Chains A and B, each alone.
Chain A
Amino acid sequence: MDHLIIEGTKSSPHVHFDADTGVLEIRGKSYPANAAQFYTPILGWVEEWLGKFTARQITLNLEMIYLNSSSSKAFLNLFSILDRHAESGQEVVINWGYHEEDETALECGKEFMEDLEAVNFNLVRITER
């Protein structure tokens, strides 16, 4: 299966999903005109890929500067798909990166964590260089 790579824009994040290693990455800002439309093919890729992927661990690395409310809904959908997959035995790690002074991003990560059960959700503080 092909990797999923989408270049970031001002209002949509950079997406880099490696079909072979199981390392998925999303970073940047997300407030596209239509979040449902933007994320539907991404969720579709993940669902198809999960059916084929056999390696031990899936890792989703996130570093979001801003998520609008409709993107946040799409993120919860993505996390829920991974959560259900983790319930069936797959090891899934989600690393929610936030910049050290960004309380909003930290809070946002915590709220996602509260809604998930089986994935291993980490809040990862990113220190400025």
Chain B
Amino acid sequence: MALSIHKLYDSLMQEGIIFCFCGSVSQSIVEGIGETLWQRMEIEGTEANTIRNVFPIFVEQVQNILTHSAEKISPERSGGEELRFGIVTVGKSNGHFYVSCGNYVEQQSAEILGRRLTQLRDLDKEQLKEFYKKQRKLPPGEDESGGAGLGFIDMARRVSMPLEFQIIPMEDGRLFFSMIATI
């Protein structure tokens, strides 16, 4: 066991992972890890505007797990906050920070996520800005999750390379959603 943990640790380091969390996510995790991430980037002398793009993408991705992960434990069962399962990593590759996440999703969520991300693919920064402002004006309830997909548009506006995503069907019929945002 200890050996395999070391292997996992080594492979994460080799991939340039600064930070990795896998397991049950909750709002407290978003806050705790988010603060640590912000602090660490500051200590390392990361440029202020880079921090102000990495942190929001981290928050939007983890809150996306909180909205869409199919694996969950209700507040009644957890005795506190709702927990949802997923994985999120922050790393650095070729001088660029990236934030990547993954979680199992239901068919309905997979369709929403896929549709929203595909929609953003061909938009340039100016079009993304207009789209963001348009979606932000929609009255609540016009949209499945209440967010009108604003989180993805926000991420798309902060990245230096297009958002990439995958929805992989498992043999047992489940779907695994993953995405990467490079800042």
- Please indicate the chain A residues that have their CB under 8 angstroms from the CB of B136 in the complex: 69, 72-73, 76
User: Do A11 and B27 touch (CB < 8 A)?
Assistant: yes
User: Do B30 and A70 touch (CB < 8 A)?
Assistant: no
Beyond A102-B52, A115-B133, 5 extra complex contacts between A and B, CB < 8 Å: A33-B30, A76-B137, A102-B49, A104-B49, A111-B132
Q: How far is the CA of A102 from the CA of B51 in the complex (A)?
A: 10
Instruction: Please tell me the size bucket of the interface on A.
Output: 20 to 34
CB distance from A112 to the nearest CB of B (A): 9
Instruction: Please tell me the size bucket of the interface on B.
Output: 20 to 34
Instruction: Give the number of residue pairs across the A-B interface with Cβ within 8 Å.
Output: 66
- Please indicate the chain B residues that have their CB under 8 angstroms from the CB of A69 in the complex: 60, 136, 147, 150-151, 153-154
Quick one: CB contact mask for B52-83 with A, threshold 8 Å, 1 for yes? Answer: 11011001100100100000000000000100
Partner of B48, one of A11, A33, A73, A102: A102
Q: How far is the CA of A68 from the CA of B61 in the complex (A)?
A: 11
Q: Which of A60-108 contact B (CB under 8 A)?
A: 66, 68-70, 72-73, 76, 101-105
B129 at the interface (CB under 8 A from A): yes
Q: How far is the CA of A11 from the CA of B33 in the complex (A)?
A: 12
